Amino acid sequence: MCLPSSASLIYYTKYPNDEDNLGLCLRVLILAALTVDIRAAQPAPEMFTLTVPDGPISTLSGSSVSLLCHVSPLFNVEPLEVRWYRYSDFHTPALLYKDHKIQEAPLDPRYKGRVSLTGGLEGGNVSLRLERVTLEDRGEYVCSVSSEQWYEKATVSLTVNGKWL
């Protein structure tokens, strides 16, 4: 049988005159490719948590790094506010995503042109990408996600070593 592992929402029918198993597999695979992940389309639950690495993330000065953070359960966070900031800098974050876009202000000028979200907001991924890392970037970062009914935050630690060649 030729069913993809993600075919839980897909059905297929063997037509009476269909002796071409390859054609059947092709139809099933096309249906599988068109299947939408329903979890990502669901609205924000009333409560959620954030999942971040247990230990620090290490990188070299001059390199790029992703500070990992995602919501649990997984859902589309595009309608929510996502804020990455240093502990003392809540009002001037490194990155602020709000109203379906990254906000230009108020942001910490040290991160201008160096930060982005890694993508995947529709799947619950709110990880921060930091480019051209400096020794001054080391320390604690707070990943926060807020909806109309819930707010959650988690801390990610970044260590910066040596120089990237």
- CA 56, distance to chain mean position in Å, is 18
Strands 81-86 and 139-146: antiparallel
In a domain, 43, yes or no: no
Give the Cα-Cα-Cα angle 92, 98, 101 (nearest 5 degrees). Answer: 110
* pTM passes above 0.85: no
| Amino acid at position 12, single letter | Y
Residue 146, SS3 per DSSP: strand
Q: Answer yes or no: do 28 and 58 share one domain.
A: no
Closest residue by Cα to residue 117 from 101, 138, 133:
101
| Same domain? 26 vs 73 | no
Counted residue by residue, the chain has a size of 165
Q: For position 135, which CATH number holds?
A: 2.60.40.10
The residue range of the domain holding 26 is 1-35
Average pLDDT of the chain to the nearest whole number: 81
User: Which stretches of the chain drop beneath a pLDDT of 70?
Assistant: 1-42, 164-165
CA-nearest of 82, 65, 69, 50 to 138 is: 65
**pLDDT tens digit string along 32-72?**
333 334 444 567 888 999 999 999 999 999 999 999 999 99
Pair (27, 80) in one structural domain: no
Q: How many domains does the chain have?
A: 2
Asked if residue 56 belongs to a domain, the reply is yes
- What's the pLDDT score for residue 164? 64
pLDDT of residue 38: 42
pLDDT at residue 149 in the model:
93
| Burial of 15 per CB tally in 10 Å (0-12, 13-18, 19+) | exposed
Q: Are residues 97 and 125 in the same domain?
A: yes
